[in-house]
Amino acid sequence: MACPLNPADFYAATDYCTEESVGFLMRRVLIAVAAATDARLEPCGLTHAQWGPLFLLRREKASTVAELAREMQTDPGAMTRLLDRLEAKGLCRRERSTDDRRVVRIVLTPEGEAAADKVPVALSSVLNEHLAGFSEAEFQTLKNLLRRMLANAEALKAAA
């Protein structure tokens, strides 16, 4: 299928270099940020896989296994197993909906809320450290460029 956008001409298969790939660089940054955040949250007993759902629950971005799996881009079975571990740690519990008995909501315990409240503190610190030396204008430009790439990705997805 042809690209619905006018594709850029920055890469060529004949001289493609992984280390200069935008995707490779973004992935390296994401890995570095995740590792630093994990190190920051390790004293709380939270791993990368665990602090994400806690943060989403605390921000009320998701409340069911399916919603969490969709937001975390994982399968519901893996999310169920992860929630089992969080529940065993006393950080969340499952509650059957009173409106629809088929729906099970995931609710943070007070301990889970306290743990989730540490996530934005850690993320803010880690991201600020990774953005050291950036000006405000560069920071805004970086966000705008990433948003444009995401908009292109959405347009490609919609056209497929």
Assess whether pLDDT exceeds 90 at residue 98. Answer: no
Distance CA 52, CA 88 (A): 17
The pTM of this model reads 0.83
Specify the residue for token string 């759902």: 53
Predicted confidence (pLDDT) per residue in 49-88, tens digit: 899 999 999 999 999 999 999 999 999 999 999 999 999 9
Q: How many other CB atoms are found less than 10 A from the CB of residue 98?
A: 8
pLDDT band of 2, cuts 50, 70, 90: low
Predicted confidence (pLDDT) per residue in 104-123, tens digit: 899 999 999 999 999 999 99
Specify the residue for token string 């803010």: 124
| 23 exposure class (CB count in 10 Å sphere: 0-12, 13-18, 19+) | exposed
Distance CA 160, CA 152 (A): 12
Architecture of domain 22-159: Orthogonal Bundle (1.10)
Predicted confidence (pLDDT) per residue in 132-149, tens digit: 999 999 999 999 999 999
pLDDT band of 102, cuts 50, 70, 90: confident
Please, are residues 131 and 146 in contact by the beta-carbon 8 Å criterion?
Answer: no
Instruction: Give the whole-number percent of the chain exceeding pLDDT 90.
Output: 82
Averaged pLDDT of the chain:
92
Residues in the chain: 160
Taking 3-state DSSP, the helix, strand and coil percentages for the chain, each rounded to the nearest 5, stand at 65, 5, 25
Amino acid 100: pLDDT = 84
Predicted confidence (pLDDT) per residue in 34-45, tens digit: 999 999 999 988
